[in-house]
Amino acid sequence: MTTLCVARRHVPDLPELHRAYETNYMALMKLLPSTNDGAARLYNIAQSLQFAVRILENTRYTTLIEICQHNDEFPDFLRSHMQVRLYHDARMAEVCVSQQISRLLPSYDYPNPAMHQRDEKEQCNHFLAEWLRFCLAHGYSAEALAY
């Protein structure tokens, strides 16, 4: 008798994902620069790590921001780079672009030509949550943070 190996599609854990979106939203609201398009705020963590939060687009219900790591000691591919959309009506923040992935899909078949993980989008949002916790705990800015 032969057995078939059927790859199951990844099903996101929606309550957990929504929790991450809400947590990210609250943390990012503390780090946002003024509400003007193009406005940026630079943060330092210790002496060697800097990151910038920049508003790319601001509308009534959403804001698109870019979070970039600025550190000349690391090559570009090791520097964190994300675009995050904040949904103000739902009070959620979702990673839309991460590193070299220009558009994150909710799930991926595996294996795939780009070798994305099945839950790549979830992993990016959880990474953002951990990264924001670290930055809020250890980072500082020349400007006062909004609380």
What are the angstrom distances between the C-alpha of 128 and each of 38, 96, 99, 136? 21, 11, 12, 12
From first CA to last CA, the distance across the chain in angstroms is 64
Domain boundaries, the chain: 14-103+114-138
What's the pLDDT tens digit per position in 65-83? 999 887 767 666 667 788 9
The helix, strand and coil proportions of the chain, stated in percent and rounded to the nearest 5, come to 25, 30, 45
What's the pLDDT tens digit per position in 21-56? 999 999 999 888 766 777 888 888 877 788 888 999
pTM for the model stands at 0.77
Over the chain, what is the mean pLDDT?
A: 79
Residue 104, pLDDT score: 67
Which among 119, 84, 79, 128 has a CA at the least distance from the CA of 100?
A: 79
Q: What is the distance between the alpha carbons of residues 93 and 95, in angstroms, rounded to a whole number?
A: 7
Of residues 80 and 144, more confidently modeled: 80
Count the Cβ atoms, other than its own, within 10 Å of residue 102.
Answer: 9
> Beta 139-141 vs 49-58: how paired, if at all?
unpaired
Mean pLDDT of 57-63: 92
